[in-house]
Structure 1
Amino acid sequence: MKALVLGATGATGKELVSQLLEDPQYDEVSIFVRSASDIKNEKLKTHIVDFDKPEEWQNLVNGDVAFSCMGTTLKNAGSKEAQKKVDFTYQYDFAKAAKKNEVEDYVLVSSYGANADSKIFYSKMKGELENSVKALHFPKITIFQPSLLDRKDSKRFGEVLGGKIIKFANKLGVLESQKPLPTDILAKAMINSSKIKSSGYSKIKLGAIFSFAEKNA
Protein backbone atom coordinates (compact mmCIF):
# COMPACT_ATOMS: atom_id res chain seq x y z
CA MET A 1 0.00 0.00 0.00
CA LYS A 2 1.01 3.61 -0.47
CA ALA A 3 0.52 6.10 2.37
CA LEU A 4 0.24 9.88 2.08
CA VAL A 5 1.03 11.92 5.18
CA LEU A 6 0.25 15.56 5.95
CA GLY A 7 1.78 16.85 9.18
CA ALA A 8 4.80 14.54 9.06
CA THR A 9 7.02 16.90 11.06
CA GLY A 10 4.71 17.17 14.06
CA ALA A 11 4.83 14.92 17.12
CA THR A 12 2.09 12.57 15.90
CA GLY A 13 3.28 12.76 12.30
CA LYS A 14 6.83 11.73 13.17
CA GLU A 15 5.55 8.69 15.05
CA LEU A 16 3.19 7.86 12.21
CA VAL A 17 5.87 8.06 9.51
CA SER A 18 8.29 6.00 11.60
CA GLN A 19 5.72 3.23 12.10
CA LEU A 20 4.60 3.29 8.47
CA LEU A 21 8.19 2.88 7.27
CA GLU A 22 8.54 -0.19 9.50
CA ASP A 23 5.21 -1.66 8.43
CA PRO A 24 5.58 -4.39 5.76
CA GLN A 25 2.08 -3.71 4.45
CA TYR A 26 3.20 -0.27 3.28
CA ASP A 27 5.74 -0.19 0.47
CA GLU A 28 5.77 3.59 -0.03
CA VAL A 29 5.25 6.57 2.27
CA SER A 30 4.89 10.02 0.71
CA ILE A 31 5.14 13.05 2.99
CA PHE A 32 4.19 16.64 2.18
CA VAL A 33 6.41 19.13 4.00
CA ARG A 34 7.76 22.69 3.78
CA SER A 35 11.42 21.66 4.00
CA ALA A 36 13.54 18.57 3.53
CA SER A 37 13.30 15.79 6.09
CA ASP A 38 16.36 14.20 7.69
CA ILE A 39 14.77 10.75 7.50
CA LYS A 40 16.55 8.35 5.17
CA ASN A 41 14.58 5.35 3.99
CA GLU A 42 14.09 3.78 0.58
CA LYS A 43 10.33 3.64 1.18
CA LEU A 44 10.11 7.37 1.89
CA LYS A 45 9.19 9.91 -0.79
CA THR A 46 9.42 13.57 0.25
CA HIS A 47 7.43 16.31 -1.49
CA ILE A 48 8.58 19.81 -0.53
CA VAL A 49 5.59 22.05 -1.18
CA ASP A 50 4.16 25.50 -0.68
CA PHE A 51 0.90 24.83 1.14
CA ASP A 52 -0.46 28.17 -0.02
CA LYS A 53 -0.30 26.93 -3.62
CA PRO A 54 -2.23 23.64 -3.69
CA GLU A 55 -2.55 23.84 -7.46
CA GLU A 56 1.19 23.10 -7.66
CA TRP A 57 1.10 19.87 -5.61
CA GLN A 58 -2.44 18.54 -5.64
CA ASN A 59 -1.63 16.08 -8.45
CA LEU A 60 0.96 14.43 -6.16
CA VAL A 61 -1.66 13.35 -3.63
CA ASN A 62 -2.03 9.87 -5.09
CA GLY A 63 -2.11 6.72 -3.00
CA ASP A 64 -4.20 4.23 -1.06
CA VAL A 65 -4.51 5.95 2.33
CA ALA A 66 -4.19 9.63 3.24
CA PHE A 67 -3.31 10.51 6.84
CA SER A 68 -3.86 14.09 8.00
CA CYS A 69 -2.42 15.11 11.38
CA MET A 70 -1.23 18.66 10.79
CA GLY A 71 -1.77 21.24 13.49
CA THR A 72 -0.34 24.18 15.37
CA THR A 73 -1.09 26.29 18.44
CA LEU A 74 -2.44 29.80 18.63
CA LYS A 75 0.80 30.86 20.31
CA ASN A 76 3.00 29.43 17.56
CA ALA A 77 0.75 30.66 14.76
CA GLY A 78 0.52 34.19 16.13
CA SER A 79 -3.15 34.78 15.35
CA LYS A 80 -6.43 32.93 14.95
CA GLU A 81 -6.34 33.59 11.22
CA ALA A 82 -2.88 32.05 10.90
CA GLN A 83 -3.83 29.06 13.04
CA LYS A 84 -6.94 28.40 10.96
CA LYS A 85 -4.83 28.42 7.80
CA VAL A 86 -2.81 25.50 9.19
CA ASP A 87 -5.52 23.64 11.09
CA PHE A 88 -8.28 24.04 8.53
CA THR A 89 -7.29 25.40 5.11
CA TYR A 90 -4.14 23.34 4.47
CA GLN A 91 -5.80 20.16 5.67
CA TYR A 92 -8.95 20.75 3.65
CA ASP A 93 -6.90 21.48 0.52
CA PHE A 94 -5.06 18.18 1.07
CA ALA A 95 -8.35 16.33 1.51
CA LYS A 96 -9.81 17.86 -1.65
CA ALA A 97 -6.74 16.81 -3.61
CA ALA A 98 -6.97 13.28 -2.22
CA LYS A 99 -10.64 13.05 -3.19
CA LYS A 100 -9.96 14.42 -6.67
CA ASN A 101 -7.26 11.79 -7.16
CA GLU A 102 -9.57 9.02 -5.94
CA VAL A 103 -7.81 8.15 -2.69
CA GLU A 104 -10.27 5.76 -1.06
CA ASP A 105 -9.27 5.88 2.61
CA TYR A 106 -8.90 9.12 4.61
CA VAL A 107 -7.70 9.24 8.22
CA LEU A 108 -8.02 12.56 10.06
CA VAL A 109 -6.80 13.58 13.50
CA SER A 110 -9.27 16.04 14.97
CA SER A 111 -9.81 16.88 18.64
CA TYR A 112 -12.02 16.00 21.56
CA GLY A 113 -14.95 18.41 21.69
CA ALA A 114 -14.80 19.31 17.99
CA ASN A 115 -18.09 20.97 17.14
CA ALA A 116 -18.85 23.38 14.30
CA ASP A 117 -21.45 25.08 16.53
CA SER A 118 -19.10 25.61 19.46
CA LYS A 119 -18.39 29.10 20.75
CA ILE A 120 -14.81 28.02 21.45
CA PHE A 121 -12.59 28.95 18.50
CA TYR A 122 -10.47 25.78 18.46
CA SER A 123 -13.39 23.38 18.91
CA LYS A 124 -15.41 25.21 16.25
CA MET A 125 -12.52 25.13 13.77
CA LYS A 126 -11.96 21.41 14.28
CA GLY A 127 -15.67 20.73 13.94
CA GLU A 128 -15.82 22.70 10.70
CA LEU A 129 -12.89 20.69 9.35
CA GLU A 130 -14.56 17.40 10.27
CA ASN A 131 -17.77 18.43 8.51
CA SER A 132 -15.96 19.71 5.41
CA VAL A 133 -13.86 16.57 5.01
CA LYS A 134 -16.83 14.31 5.68
CA ALA A 135 -18.79 16.16 2.96
CA LEU A 136 -16.19 15.08 0.38
CA HIS A 137 -17.66 11.56 0.66
CA PHE A 138 -14.56 9.40 0.70
CA PRO A 139 -15.42 5.70 0.39
CA LYS A 140 -13.90 5.30 3.86
CA ILE A 141 -13.11 8.00 6.41
CA THR A 142 -11.96 7.63 10.01
CA ILE A 143 -11.78 10.61 12.36
CA PHE A 144 -9.86 10.40 15.62
CA GLN A 145 -10.82 12.71 18.48
CA PRO A 146 -8.03 12.46 21.05
CA SER A 147 -7.99 14.47 24.23
CA LEU A 148 -4.68 15.74 25.62
CA LEU A 149 -1.72 14.33 23.68
CA ASP A 150 1.37 13.09 25.49
CA ARG A 151 4.13 14.34 23.18
CA LYS A 152 7.75 13.36 23.74
CA ASP A 153 9.85 16.32 24.87
CA SER A 154 6.89 18.68 24.60
CA LYS A 155 7.69 22.35 25.23
CA ARG A 156 4.05 23.40 25.46
CA PHE A 157 3.75 24.55 29.10
CA GLY A 158 -0.03 24.24 29.30
CA GLU A 159 0.04 20.80 27.74
CA VAL A 160 2.78 19.54 30.06
CA LEU A 161 1.06 20.94 33.15
CA GLY A 162 -2.32 19.61 32.09
CA GLY A 163 -0.82 16.20 31.45
CA LYS A 164 0.72 16.08 34.91
CA ILE A 165 -2.57 17.05 36.54
CA ILE A 166 -4.56 14.43 34.64
CA LYS A 167 -1.96 11.72 35.26
CA PHE A 168 -2.12 12.50 38.98
CA ALA A 169 -5.91 12.31 38.84
CA ASN A 170 -5.65 8.98 37.02
CA LYS A 171 -3.60 7.59 39.92
CA LEU A 172 -6.48 8.53 42.20
CA GLY A 173 -8.87 6.64 39.96
CA VAL A 174 -10.55 9.62 38.32
CA LEU A 175 -10.57 11.09 34.82
CA GLU A 176 -9.34 7.76 33.44
CA SER A 177 -11.33 8.23 30.25
CA GLN A 178 -9.32 11.39 29.59
CA LYS A 179 -5.83 10.12 30.36
CA PRO A 180 -3.13 11.67 28.13
CA LEU A 181 -2.71 9.83 24.84
CA PRO A 182 0.89 9.08 23.80
CA THR A 183 1.47 10.04 20.17
CA ASP A 184 2.88 6.61 19.33
CA ILE A 185 -0.38 5.00 20.48
CA LEU A 186 -2.40 7.42 18.35
CA ALA A 187 -0.18 6.67 15.34
CA LYS A 188 -0.65 2.93 15.84
CA ALA A 189 -4.41 3.34 16.04
CA MET A 190 -4.39 5.37 12.82
CA ILE A 191 -2.45 2.69 10.98
CA ASN A 192 -4.69 -0.07 12.34
CA SER A 193 -7.74 1.82 11.11
CA SER A 194 -6.31 1.82 7.59
CA LYS A 195 -6.01 -1.96 7.61
CA ILE A 196 -9.62 -2.64 8.50
CA LYS A 197 -11.63 -3.56 5.45
CA SER A 198 -14.73 -1.42 5.75
CA SER A 199 -16.47 1.56 4.21
CA GLY A 200 -18.30 4.62 5.40
CA TYR A 201 -17.65 7.01 8.27
CA SER A 202 -16.19 6.19 11.70
CA LYS A 203 -15.30 8.41 14.65
CA ILE A 204 -12.93 7.13 17.35
CA LYS A 205 -12.97 9.04 20.64
CA LEU A 206 -10.83 9.34 23.75
CA GLY A 207 -10.25 6.06 25.56
CA ALA A 208 -11.44 3.99 22.62
CA ILE A 209 -8.26 5.01 20.79
CA PHE A 210 -6.18 2.94 23.23
CA SER A 211 -8.13 -0.24 22.51
CA PHE A 212 -8.14 0.59 18.79
CA ALA A 213 -4.34 0.68 18.86
CA GLU A 214 -4.33 -2.84 20.24
CA LYS A 215 -6.42 -4.30 17.43
CA ASN A 216 -4.68 -6.89 15.29
CA ALA A 217 -5.65 -5.37 11.97
Structure 2
Amino acid sequence: MMKVVLIGGSGATGRALVQLMLKSKEITEIVVLLRRVSFEEHIKLKQVIVDFENLTDFEQVIQGNVAISCLGTTLKDAGSKDAQWKIDHDLNLQFAALAKKNGFPTFLLLSAVLADPASKIFYNRMKGSLEQDVKALDFNRLIIFQPGGLIRPNTDRLGEKTAIAALRIFNTIGLFKTYEPLSVGQVAMAMLQAINHYTTGIHTVTVKDIQKLAAETS
Protein backbone atom coordinates (compact mmCIF):
# COMPACT_ATOMS: atom_id res chain seq x y z
CA MET A 1 0.00 0.00 0.00
CA MET A 2 1.69 3.16 -1.17
CA LYS A 3 0.77 6.85 -1.10
CA VAL A 4 2.66 9.13 -3.48
CA VAL A 5 2.92 12.92 -3.43
CA LEU A 6 4.15 14.46 -6.67
CA ILE A 7 5.13 17.93 -7.81
CA GLY A 8 5.49 18.81 -11.49
CA GLY A 9 2.51 16.76 -12.63
CA SER A 10 1.48 19.15 -15.38
CA GLY A 11 4.76 18.66 -17.26
CA ALA A 12 5.14 15.96 -19.89
CA THR A 13 7.07 13.48 -17.74
CA GLY A 14 5.01 14.12 -14.63
CA ARG A 15 1.78 13.70 -16.56
CA ALA A 16 2.95 10.39 -18.04
CA LEU A 17 4.03 9.18 -14.60
CA VAL A 18 0.69 10.04 -13.00
CA GLN A 19 -1.14 8.06 -15.69
CA LEU A 20 1.08 5.03 -15.05
CA MET A 21 0.68 5.26 -11.29
CA LEU A 22 -3.11 5.35 -11.63
CA LYS A 23 -2.86 1.88 -13.20
CA SER A 24 -0.49 0.52 -10.54
CA LYS A 25 -2.04 -1.86 -8.01
CA GLU A 26 0.66 -1.06 -5.45
CA ILE A 27 -0.09 2.67 -5.39
CA THR A 28 -3.32 3.36 -3.56
CA GLU A 29 -3.32 7.16 -3.50
CA ILE A 30 -1.67 9.89 -5.57
CA VAL A 31 -1.58 13.50 -4.44
CA VAL A 32 -0.49 15.94 -7.14
CA LEU A 33 0.36 19.55 -6.28
CA LEU A 34 -0.72 21.79 -9.16
CA ARG A 35 -1.43 25.37 -10.14
CA ARG A 36 -4.67 24.28 -11.78
CA VAL A 37 -6.69 21.10 -12.28
CA SER A 38 -4.88 19.10 -14.97
CA PHE A 39 -6.31 15.59 -14.88
CA GLU A 40 -9.65 13.87 -15.18
CA GLU A 41 -11.15 12.75 -11.89
CA HIS A 42 -10.02 9.36 -10.60
CA ILE A 43 -10.74 7.53 -7.36
CA LYS A 44 -7.00 7.27 -6.53
CA LEU A 45 -6.11 10.83 -7.53
CA LYS A 46 -6.24 13.99 -5.44
CA GLN A 47 -5.37 17.25 -7.22
CA VAL A 48 -4.36 19.95 -4.75
CA ILE A 49 -4.31 23.50 -6.11
CA VAL A 50 -1.27 25.14 -4.59
CA ASP A 51 0.17 28.63 -4.33
CA PHE A 52 3.78 27.76 -5.05
CA GLU A 53 4.90 31.10 -3.69
CA ASN A 54 3.74 29.84 -0.30
CA LEU A 55 4.33 26.10 -0.48
CA THR A 56 4.81 25.79 3.28
CA ASP A 57 1.13 26.67 3.71
CA PHE A 58 0.34 23.28 2.14
CA GLU A 59 2.69 21.24 4.29
CA GLN A 60 -0.22 19.22 5.72
CA VAL A 61 -1.02 17.64 2.33
CA ILE A 62 2.57 16.46 1.83
CA GLN A 63 2.06 13.17 3.65
CA GLY A 64 2.83 9.69 2.34
CA ASN A 65 5.47 7.08 1.54
CA VAL A 66 7.06 8.31 -1.70
CA ALA A 67 7.65 11.92 -2.77
CA ILE A 68 8.43 12.63 -6.41
CA SER A 69 9.56 15.78 -8.18
CA CYS A 70 9.23 16.11 -11.94
CA LEU A 71 9.21 19.90 -11.69
CA GLY A 72 11.23 21.92 -14.17
CA THR A 73 10.98 24.75 -16.63
CA THR A 74 12.95 26.27 -19.50
CA LEU A 75 14.87 29.52 -19.49
CA LYS A 76 12.51 30.83 -22.17
CA ASP A 77 9.38 30.01 -20.16
CA ALA A 78 10.86 31.28 -16.90
CA GLY A 79 12.01 34.55 -18.44
CA SER A 80 15.37 34.80 -16.68
CA LYS A 81 18.04 32.68 -15.04
CA ASP A 82 16.99 33.90 -11.60
CA ALA A 83 13.39 32.90 -12.27
CA GLN A 84 14.41 29.49 -13.60
CA TRP A 85 16.65 28.87 -10.58
CA LYS A 86 13.76 29.76 -8.28
CA ILE A 87 11.60 27.05 -9.88
CA ASP A 88 14.10 24.34 -10.80
CA HIS A 89 16.21 24.63 -7.67
CA ASP A 90 14.51 26.53 -4.86
CA LEU A 91 10.98 25.21 -5.25
CA ASN A 92 12.16 21.65 -5.75
CA LEU A 93 14.37 21.88 -2.68
CA GLN A 94 11.56 23.36 -0.60
CA PHE A 95 9.28 20.49 -1.58
CA ALA A 96 12.01 17.96 -0.74
CA ALA A 97 12.63 19.62 2.64
CA LEU A 98 8.92 19.45 3.50
CA ALA A 99 8.82 15.79 2.48
CA LYS A 100 11.82 15.09 4.70
CA LYS A 101 10.27 17.00 7.58
CA ASN A 102 7.08 14.96 7.24
CA GLY A 103 8.95 11.65 7.38
CA PHE A 104 9.01 10.46 3.77
CA PRO A 105 11.55 7.62 3.51
CA THR A 106 11.80 7.84 -0.29
CA PHE A 107 12.34 10.74 -2.67
CA LEU A 108 12.56 10.55 -6.48
CA LEU A 109 14.09 13.50 -8.33
CA LEU A 110 14.00 14.13 -12.06
CA SER A 111 17.31 15.84 -12.84
CA ALA A 112 19.38 15.89 -16.04
CA VAL A 113 22.50 14.42 -17.59
CA LEU A 114 25.77 16.22 -16.70
CA ALA A 115 24.28 17.79 -13.57
CA ASP A 116 27.26 19.24 -11.73
CA PRO A 117 27.29 21.95 -9.02
CA ALA A 118 30.73 23.07 -10.25
CA SER A 119 29.77 23.32 -13.94
CA LYS A 120 30.33 26.56 -15.84
CA ILE A 121 27.12 25.85 -17.74
CA PHE A 122 24.19 27.42 -15.91
CA TYR A 123 21.67 24.62 -16.47
CA ASN A 124 24.07 21.86 -15.45
CA ARG A 125 25.18 23.85 -12.41
CA MET A 126 21.56 24.48 -11.36
CA LYS A 127 20.66 20.79 -11.63
CA GLY A 128 23.86 19.73 -9.90
CA SER A 129 23.29 22.17 -7.06
CA LEU A 130 19.78 20.80 -6.59
CA GLU A 131 21.05 17.22 -6.49
CA GLN A 132 23.70 18.20 -3.95
CA ASP A 133 21.21 20.02 -1.71
CA VAL A 134 18.63 17.22 -1.83
CA LYS A 135 21.32 14.67 -0.98
CA ALA A 136 22.15 16.75 2.10
CA LEU A 137 18.59 16.21 3.39
CA ASP A 138 19.60 12.58 3.99
CA PHE A 139 16.56 10.65 2.80
CA ASN A 140 16.61 6.95 3.60
CA ARG A 141 16.33 6.38 -0.16
CA LEU A 142 17.04 8.99 -2.84
CA ILE A 143 16.72 8.08 -6.52
CA ILE A 144 17.99 10.68 -9.00
CA PHE A 145 17.18 10.35 -12.70
CA GLN A 146 19.52 11.90 -15.26
CA PRO A 147 17.97 11.62 -18.73
CA GLY A 148 19.51 13.34 -21.73
CA GLY A 149 17.20 14.75 -24.40
CA LEU A 150 13.50 14.24 -23.68
CA ILE A 151 11.04 13.46 -26.45
CA ARG A 152 7.78 15.15 -25.51
CA PRO A 153 4.59 14.40 -27.44
CA ASN A 154 3.36 17.29 -29.58
CA THR A 155 6.10 19.64 -28.39
CA ASP A 156 6.13 23.13 -29.91
CA ARG A 157 9.72 23.85 -28.82
CA LEU A 158 11.65 24.30 -32.07
CA GLY A 159 15.04 24.16 -30.38
CA GLU A 160 14.07 20.93 -28.66
CA LYS A 161 12.94 19.34 -31.93
CA THR A 162 16.18 20.36 -33.65
CA ALA A 163 18.36 19.06 -30.82
CA ILE A 164 16.55 15.72 -30.69
CA ALA A 165 16.87 15.28 -34.46
CA ALA A 166 20.60 16.05 -34.32
CA LEU A 167 21.16 13.66 -31.41
CA ARG A 168 19.43 10.86 -33.25
CA ILE A 169 21.74 11.33 -36.21
CA PHE A 170 24.83 11.31 -33.98
CA ASN A 171 23.54 8.26 -32.07
CA THR A 172 23.24 6.24 -35.27
CA ILE A 173 27.00 6.57 -35.77
CA GLY A 174 27.77 5.84 -32.12
CA LEU A 175 28.28 9.38 -30.85
CA PHE A 176 26.79 11.15 -27.81
CA LYS A 177 25.14 8.01 -26.41
CA THR A 178 25.09 9.72 -23.01
CA TYR A 179 22.57 12.18 -24.44
CA GLU A 180 20.52 9.55 -26.29
CA PRO A 181 16.95 10.91 -26.47
CA LEU A 182 14.34 9.18 -24.35
CA SER A 183 10.59 9.53 -24.56
CA VAL A 184 8.87 10.92 -21.49
CA GLY A 185 6.99 7.62 -21.42
CA GLN A 186 10.27 5.71 -21.03
CA VAL A 187 11.40 7.98 -18.21
CA ALA A 188 8.03 7.71 -16.45
CA MET A 189 8.09 3.90 -16.69
CA ALA A 190 11.62 3.84 -15.30
CA MET A 191 10.63 6.09 -12.39
CA LEU A 192 7.73 3.83 -11.49
CA GLN A 193 9.88 0.70 -11.76
CA ALA A 194 12.64 2.28 -9.68
CA ILE A 195 10.43 2.45 -6.59
CA ASN A 196 10.70 -1.32 -6.24
CA HIS A 197 14.08 -1.77 -7.94
CA TYR A 198 16.35 0.28 -5.67
CA THR A 199 16.99 -0.29 -1.99
CA THR A 200 18.12 2.25 0.60
CA GLY A 201 20.82 4.82 -0.15
CA ILE A 202 21.48 7.27 -2.98
CA HIS A 203 21.09 6.06 -6.54
CA THR A 204 21.86 7.98 -9.74
CA VAL A 205 19.95 6.57 -12.72
CA THR A 206 21.67 7.19 -16.06
CA VAL A 207 20.30 7.06 -19.60
CA LYS A 208 21.22 3.38 -19.94
CA ASP A 209 19.72 2.61 -16.54
CA ILE A 210 16.49 4.35 -17.54
CA GLN A 211 16.34 2.31 -20.74
CA LYS A 212 16.80 -0.94 -18.81
CA LEU A 213 14.19 -0.08 -16.19
CA ALA A 214 11.68 1.03 -18.82
CA ALA A 215 12.20 -2.20 -20.75
CA GLU A 216 11.37 -4.21 -17.63
CA THR A 217 7.92 -2.61 -17.46
CA SER A 218 7.10 -2.88 -21.19
Which TM-score bucket, shorter chain as reference? over 0.9
Matches within 5 A, 1:35-54: 35-54=36-55
C-alpha distance in 2 between matches for 1:203 and 1:72: 21
C-alpha distance in 2 between matches for 1:119 and 1:127: 11
**Are 1:94 and 2:95 counterparts?**
yes
CA contact under 8 A between 2:113 and 2:179: conserved in structure 1?
Answer: no
CA contact under 8 A between 1:178 and 1:207: conserved in structure 2?
Answer: no
Name the structure with the higher helix share: 2
Residue 173 (structure 1) shift: 4.1
Q: What RMSD over aligned residues (CA atoms) do the two structures have, in Å?
A: 1.3
Deviations 1:122-149 (A, max 9, x none): 1111011001100000000000111110
Give the TM-score normalised by structure 2.
Answer: 0.95
**Closer, same or farther in 2 for the Cα pair 1:197/1:111, shift >3 Å?**
closer
Matches within 5 A, 1:52-131: 52-131=53-132
Structure 1: tracts of 5 or more residues without a match: none
Matched length: 216
Deviations 1:188-212 (A, max 9, x none): 1111111236101000112221012
Structure 2: tracts of 5 or more residues without a match: none
Matched-pair identity in %: 38
Give the TM-score normalised by structure 1.
Answer: 0.95
C-alpha distance in 1 between matches for 2:202 and 2:65: 17
2:135 corresponds to which residue? 134
C-alpha distance in 2 between matches for 1:203 and 1:13: 19
C-alpha distance in 1 between matches for 2:96 and 2:165: 35
C-alpha distance in 1 between matches for 2:132 and 2:39: 34
C-alpha distance in 2 between matches for 1:105 and 1:41: 24
CA contact under 8 A between 1:65 and 1:105: conserved in structure 2?
Answer: yes
C-alpha distance in 2 between matches for 1:61 and 1:193: 21
The farther-off stretch of 169-178 and 5-14 is 169-178
